[in-house]
Chains A and B, each alone.
Chain A
Amino acid sequence: MSDEQNHNVSRRQFLTYTLTGVGGFMAAGIILPMARFAIDPVLQAESEGDMKAVTDVSELTDTPQRFDFSYEQEDAWNTSEVTETAFIYQSGEEIVALSNTCTHLGCKVSWGSSSDHPNQFYCPCHGGRYEKDGTNIEGTPPTEPLHKYQVEVREGTVYVGKAEPQV
């Protein structure tokens, strides 16, 4: 008999349990999103990141070649697809990916397009020139080297990330 009685839940106990339970859920409902916001940057960094697949490693040579890749970009009013171009080549074991944006005023440079300087990057706007590794050539308008992309190779595919200044 006394065993049975122990299993019975009194009104007071029932109310306590229910209120604690419901209260717990409510508290969790408030705190969890806040916690999520707080650690959001951590969660983002864990994801694959913004690396974009560009080409196969086997395509690369020691001459810079142009590769286009695109991604979505959100502007205030619309989402648009942006295409970027990188010049990629292999330098020993290292894979180098350079941005094609002139560091002077933002025109697009290309490799070997000036017949006088076949082994340099050349900007058609104001004659800016860069060495193969992106170093700007003294006496031409640009004041800093071409920006360099972060490069990653996964299973034979080359991925590029953000372009960053070399200095």
Chain B
Amino acid sequence: MRWSTEDIPSFVKERQYVDTVLLPLLPVEFGDGIRQSAAMTEFITVMTAELEKQFRGRILLAPSYTYLAADEESRPSSEELNKWIESMKKEKLKHIILLTADSSWKKAEHDLDAFLIWMPLVPLENLEASYKKQVISEQIKQLLPVIMDIWKKEGNS
């Protein structure tokens, strides 16, 4: 379900069925990395929207977590993000899936109390519309079993 006035009422009504949050992590940069930041935003937004369509009865697509991109040495702070995760878990949303194209989260993965999926960025900007669709649906096909596995492993509600 999307974070919209249209879907949220049904989320509230069907709470016992929705136990998963999908949270896109989007790095923001205004300097040299601005192109990359935009490309990642576009890619991850398309991916999460598509996943929401597939699993809309069990997944809540949260508004993206945006943060200033970390430079080479440092890594993004997991503290703030863990606060988000904590408040979701408090609401009985027990499976939390983070989707990002920012590889720096890989280093912080163990500090996060959630399931992190990192996908290498697929540049969509120069692709023809029909080819773009094909690339995305190919990627989604690979992701579906990953998510179904999370449900199986972490147990059903």
Which residues of chain A have a CB within 8 Å of any CB of chain B? 83, 102, 104-108, 123-126, 141
Contact = CB atoms under 8 A, between A and B. Distances in A.
A105 B14 contact: yes
B56 interface: yes
Nearest to B56: A106
Interface residues of B toward A: which range?
Answer: 10 to 19
8 contacts: A104-B17, A105-B58, A106-B57, A107-B54, A107-B56, A125-B17, A125-B57, A141-B17
B108 interface: no
B148 A126 contact: no
Contact of B17 (A83, A105, A108, A124): A105
Nearest to A81: B129
Nearest to A83: B133
B75 interface: no
A105 B57 CA distance: 4
B92 interface: no
A107 B57 contact: yes
Given A124-B144, A126-B17, A102 B57 contact: yes
Nearest to A124: B148
B58 A126 contact: yes
- Top 8 nearest A-B pairs (CB, nearest first) are A105-B57, A125-B58, A107-B57, A125-B57, A106-B56, A108-B54, A106-B57, A124-B148
Nearest to B20: A125
Interface string B132-157: 01000000000010001000000000
Nearest to A126: B17
- Specify which of A106, A125, A141 lies most central, judged by the most chain B CB atoms within 10 Å of its CB: A125
A107 B1 CA distance: 10
Contacts of A141: 17
A105 B133 contact: no
A83 B53 CA distance: 11
B115 interface: no
A23 to B, nearest CB: 51
Given A124-B144, A124-B148, A126-B17, A104 B133 contact: no
B118 interface: no
A108 B50 CA distance: 11
Contacts of A125: 17, 55, 57-58
Contacts of B55: 107-108, 124-125
Contacts of A123: 57
Contact of A126 (B53, B57, B133): B57
Interface in B90-113: none
A126 B54 CA distance: 13
A52 B76 CA distance: 48
Contacts of A83: 133
- Specify which of B14, B56, B133, B148 lies most central, judged by the most chain A CB atoms within 10 Å of its CB: B56
- Specify which of B10, B55, B144 lies most central, judged by the most chain A CB atoms within 10 Å of its CB: B55
Contacts of B58: 105, 107, 125-126
A105 B144 contact: no
